[in-house]
């Protein structure tokens, strides 16, 4: 059950960033809107009811497919640790 929830969250956030990347490449949204959508989606991921391991896997996959960069991973990871008191 938890794995199903993880997959659901993983797909939702991954698809959201990918969708906005495509929109930006098609000039349907601006680069600033795209950057903001990434930050908003990553914030939603931070707040998602998933384990730390699942969180890291999500970030790793987004990085693997060049949806986010290492700087975003670092900021997101730091914020995750703050929120979760790690």
pLDDT of residue 15: 92
pLDDT of residue 10: 74
Whole-angstrom CA distances from 3 to 49, 72, 83 are 11, 25, 22
* Token couple for 43: 């914030």
pLDDT profile of the chain (86 residues), mean per 10: 67 92 96 96 91 90 94 96 86
């Amino acid at each position: 059950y938890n794995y199903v929830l993880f997959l659901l969250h993983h797909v939702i956030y991954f698809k959201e960033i990918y969708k906005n990347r495509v929109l930006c490449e098609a000039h349907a949204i601006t680069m600033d809107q795209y950057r903001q959508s990434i930050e908003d989606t990553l914030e939603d991921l931070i707040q998602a009811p998933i384990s730390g391991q699942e969180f890291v896997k999500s970030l790793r996959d987004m990085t693997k497919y060049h949806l986010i960069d290492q700087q975003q991973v670092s900021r997101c990871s730091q914020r995750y640790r703050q929120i979760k008191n790690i």
